Amino acid sequence: MVQLKVTFLGTSSSVPTRKRGLTSIAVMRGAELILFDAGECVQRAMMHAGLGLNRPMKIFITHLHGDHCVGLLGLLQSMSMMQRDKPLSIYGPKGIVSFVKSNIKALAFDLSFDLEIKTVKEGLVVEESEYTIYACRAAHSRLTYAYLLEEKPRPGVFYPEAARSLGIPEGRLWSILQRGEEITYQDRLIKPDQVTGPKRRGRKIGYSGDTRPSSRLIEFFKGCDLLIFDSTYADRHADKAEENLHSTAREAASIAKEAGVKTLVLTHFSARYDDSSELVEEASEVHSNTIAAEDFMEIEVRYPE
């Protein structure tokens, strides 16, 4: 069982407020940190949240607007000053490589760790043994990608009685079968499905970045356990959402409902809203399981069962 916890490091849109920093979302999966976007002062927010700067980490940038990427520079410099020694990978849209490299050169600081920067295209971005991360083109004023973290299916429930009936001794061989791997015992090949139930699906977290709603995103976010979606405006400013290529809270809820999302989290709020209750109320009329993100709010995403 791997813990999957989301921490909201910044929940404002382009202008920070006294209560909200600029956009950044940390997903802790076991010991690994997966960071989506990096608004200004993200390193301070990470320290405040107790996340640390020297752990296995990947960073995904949705687009090259300042409130989503400028914090990368301070983060990289702080990591180096604190002698980070683990390699780091950054993923983002076209322009991300030159943005990072030219600013490191302009600011004249050296890195204490290996840095890999990759340009994102639609489809599979990262594949690890236990999860994948995909990208989908969003609808914004700059090239923008939404991201989906999807865990691979887990082995089914282990049945000790089945293992005993096959004469397999309890201990290491049971553990191997529980991990979904085959074993050979007394010249017999034993497959996991002989002692386990059907495979169980993993968890899915979606993050929109800045976007107008679209049918492509509905399909992309199908069945998410948690969807974090651009909710910059309330209904009374729907014209601004359309003009600035953002979404209203109600539009975010419509995406969540049509995609069959379990929990919707509204974020990226315009600084004009001191209180997010108006946006939650409007979204909840469409998708009942809706909450508003707050800086340093944490959500643990549990397994579907």
**pLDDT tens-digit map of 60-95:** 999 999 999 999 999 999 999 999 999 999 999 999
pLDDT of residue 150: 98
Looking at residue 304, its pLDDT comes to 87
Residue 67 is a catalytic residue: yes
Query: What pLDDT score was predicted for residue 1?
Result: 83
Domains in the chain: ranges and CATH = 4-154+200-300 (3.60.15.10), 160-194 (no CATH)
Number of Cα atoms under 13 Å in the Cβ half of residue 50: 5
CA atoms of 303 and 154, how far apart (whole Å): 10
Pairwise CA distance, residues 13 & 40, whole Å = 12
pTM of the model: 0.93
pLDDT recorded at residue 105: 95
- The residue ranges of the chain whose pLDDT is under 70 are none
Sign of torsion, CA 47 51 54 60? negative
Residues 6+ apart with CB under 8 A from 81: none
List 67, 225, 230, 295, catalytic entry: 67
The pLDDT value recorded for residue 299 is 98
Task: Quote the pLDDT of residue 244.
Answer: 97
3-state SS class at 72: helix
Q: What is the pLDDT of residues 123-150, one digit of tens each?
A: 999 999 999 999 999 999 999 999 999 9
Q: What pLDDT was estimated at residue 117?
A: 98
